């Protein structure tokens, strides 16, 4: 099984998901399965999918107990075909059945995100642009979902409010403008890069006159993005440009062709369809 140093907070999230599902006990399994029963089971892809989440899948069984051995037959990031076996399990029948739903929920969710991310990355193949995620993730699933984005070939934007400065429209309005907001950030002894969101070319020019390291072009059409890229390259070639807002699989290539450096999209996490994967006792 793939090795990954899972943070304790993520282990706690998986444990809480199991507590939510199991409660005071798996009464169906406890009433129908003998305590000493042992079984073999397989994790099967019921559609083509990019595999992501095996370390978390294994963690769910380890939390329930030490009676189940899991063995991956494929690697993270591998594209498997419908009907292919992803992993084999052996051990306590009760523990297999009790952890089944939570472990599958995680695998299905993460495989879906990795597969969708892979589609976006392939759509912009050959262009010097990165596909990155956002903070639009399911509560308590951010670490795992951003992991799946990386497995799918994408990159991570900031993980949370604590590890990146991103001055958005509400910050700008409350602070009294782009320049004032960035001026306040500059007074802090921080080494973190500064990113600011702009909605039009006028705001872009204002941002270029500040110490912003990254400028997000928010909900601009591609014609405006091309103009923005030209203005930025002529004024401050080193500044990174990020396109964001209403990015879909159909529009991502056209956006990439404007010359932006980064395309961020919440779609690859909040709208990924869960992959069809089953766990079957054999």
Give Cα 214 to chain centroid, integer Å. Answer: 21
Q: Which residues contact 134 (CB under 8 A, 6 or more apart)?
A: 157, 244, 264, 265, 266, 269
Let me know whether 94 and 24 are in one domain: yes
Range of the domain at 55: 8-121+273-281
Catalytic one of 46, 82, 168, 280 = 168
Query: Is 261 annotated as catalytic?
Result: no
Count of domains forming the chain: 2
Tokens of 265: 């999209």
CATH code (residue 232): 3.20.20.70
Let me know whether 108 and 152 are in one domain: no
Query: Is 101 annotated as catalytic?
Result: yes
Residue 14 falls inside a structural domain: yes
Let me know whether 164 and 195 are in one domain: yes
- What predicted TM-score, i.e. pTM, was given to this entire model? 0.95
Let me know whether 105 and 179 are in one domain: no
Give the pLDDT confidence of 218-275 residue by residue, as tens digits. Answer: 999 999 999 999 999 998 999 999 999 989 999 999 999 999 999 999 999 999 999 9
Catalytic one of 15, 38, 88, 101 = 101
Mean pLDDT value across residues 155-180:
96
Let me know whether 111 and 225 are in one domain: no
Give the pLDDT confidence of 5-30 residue by residue, as tens digits. Answer: 999 999 999 999 999 999 999 999 99
Catalytic one of 135, 136, 226, 253 = 136
| Percentage above 90 pLDDT, the chain | 94
Let me know whether 159 and 201 are in one domain: yes
pLDDT band at 191 (very low <50, low <70, confident <90, very high): confident
Query: Is 168 annotated as catalytic?
Result: yes
Catalytic one of 76, 133, 145, 218 = 218
Residue 2 falls inside a structural domain: no
């Amino acid at each position: 099984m793939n090795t990954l140093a899972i943070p304790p907070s993520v282990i706690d999230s998986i444990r809480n998901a199991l507590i939510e599902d199991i409660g005071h006990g798996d009464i169906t399994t406890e009433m129908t399965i003998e305590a000493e029963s042992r079984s073999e089971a397989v994790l099967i892809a019921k559609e083509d999918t990019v595999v992501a989440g095996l370390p978390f899948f294994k963690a769910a069984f380890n939390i329930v107990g030490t009676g189940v051995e899991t063995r991956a037959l494929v690697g993270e990031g591998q594209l498997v075909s419908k009907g292919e076996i992803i992993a084999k399990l052996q051990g306590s029948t009760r523990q297999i059945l009790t952890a089944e739903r939570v472990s599958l929920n995680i695998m299905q969710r993460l495989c879906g995100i990795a597969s969708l991310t892979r589609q976006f990355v392939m759509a912009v193949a050959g262009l010097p642009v990165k596909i990155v995620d956002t903070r639009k993730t399911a509560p308590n699933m951010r670490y795992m979902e951003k992991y799946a984005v990386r497995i799918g070939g994408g990159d991570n934007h900031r993980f949370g409010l604590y590890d990146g400065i991103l001055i958005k429209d509400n910050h700008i309005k409350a602070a009294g403008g782009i320049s004032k907001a960035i001026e306040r950030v500059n007074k802090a002894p921080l080494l973190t890069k500064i990113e600011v969101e702009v909605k039009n070319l006028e705001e872009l020019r204002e941002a270029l006159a500040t110490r912003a390291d990254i400028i997000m072009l928010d909900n601009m059409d591609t014609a405006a993005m091309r103009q923005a890229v030209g203005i930025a390259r002529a004024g401050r070639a080193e500044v990174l440009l990020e396109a964001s807002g209403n990015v879909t699989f159909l529009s991502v290539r056209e956006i990439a062709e404007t010359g932006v450096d980064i395309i961020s999209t919440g779609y690859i996490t909040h709208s990924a369809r869960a992959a069809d994967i089953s766990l079957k006792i054999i």
